[in-house]
Amino acid sequence: MIKDIKFLLCILSLLVFYNVSVAQDNPTGENMKQEKVTKRVGSLIKVKPEFEERYIILHKYTFPGVLERIRKSNIRNYSIFLLDGILFSYYEYVGNNYDADMKAIADPTTKDWWKLTDPMQEPLPTRKEGEWWAEMEQWFCYDKLIKPSSQAQRIGLVAEIIPGKEDEVKYLFMNFPPEINEATSYQSFQNNNIFFKDNKIYFYYEYAGDNIRSSFTRLSQFEKYQTFQAELNKLLLPKGTGNWEIMKEVFHTD
């Protein structure tokens, strides 16, 4: 239930002010040609507890001018996931001048957007100097696509590493068995990315099939996958019935 109707009305009035539709869909999707990804970025920031609901509502009505600027800055397949006050963003960069494109994002419309979002956020104390969102270290990527990302289901997960076991987890992913990559593709999993920050690993992947539960069951029967998972799970802290927690997607633009 929306707690603050005035806030929603404020957002809608701003959309009217910018004289644009509130629709977030882009005219790309199936007709969009495959672009070469030159950089993949995973980042973290906190959302203040008192603003979590508003943050989710706000991102349902992202200014179309902001979405247009994101695209002009060569950012694609941009998602934000939320769990326990932590926002995990993932996007793909398809340009050739990252610093210039990131600087160009700060146009008047996006600055107005930041006036709304920045007070809701709290940067991590472990971020690098000059960062707002803390960029993570990427430990693994298998980017083979079965379908365009715009047609796939997106999933964000997080797991916590047992203190002192970070190097062992990194070694596992840096030496990931190629046979497992082939098996995941065969079961319709694609665009697998692992990022690391503050003793946790964040997993972004996509599913391009029709029944993710059945595909995962079949993948779990593959012996090398079982071996890898057993080795990894020994290095992760248990969470409920497993080691991974599912994050909620609160924003996406292709």
Per-residue pLDDT at 167 exceeds 80: yes
137-248 adopts what CATH topology?
Answer: Alpha-Beta Plaits (3.30.70)
Residue 31 has pLDDT above 50, yes or no: no
pLDDT at residue number 246: 98
Residue 13 predicted with pLDDT over 50: no
Structure-token match 């980017």, residue found: 143
Mean pLDDT of 244-253: 98
> According to the model, what pLDDT value does residue 34 have?
78
CA–chain centroid gap for 98, Å, is 18
Task: Give residue 14's pLDDT.
Answer: 53
Tokens standing for residue 7:
């806030």
Contact at 8 Å (CB) between 90 and 204? yes
pLDDT computed for residue 32 by the predictor: 47
Per-residue pLDDT band for 33 (boundaries 50, 70, 90) equals low
Give residue 95's pLDDT.
Answer: 98
Non-local (6+) Cβ contacts of 247 within 8 A are 81, 82, 83, 88, 156, 157, 158
Is it true that 5-135 and 137-248 share their CATH fold? yes
Residue 50 pLDDT exceeds 70: yes
| Mean pLDDT, the chain, integer | 91
Taking only the tens place, the pLDDT of each residue in 191-229 is 999 999 999 999 999 999 999 999 999 999 999 999 999
* Average pLDDT of span 138-167: 98
Given this model, what pLDDT does residue 2 score?
A: 52
CATH number for domain 5-135, candidates 3.40.309.10, 3.30.300.20, 3.30.360.10, 3.30.70.100: 3.30.70.100
Q: What is the mean pLDDT of residues 36-53?
A: 98
**pTM reported for the whole predicted model:** 0.89
What is the domain partition of the chain in residue ranges? Answer: 5-135, 137-248
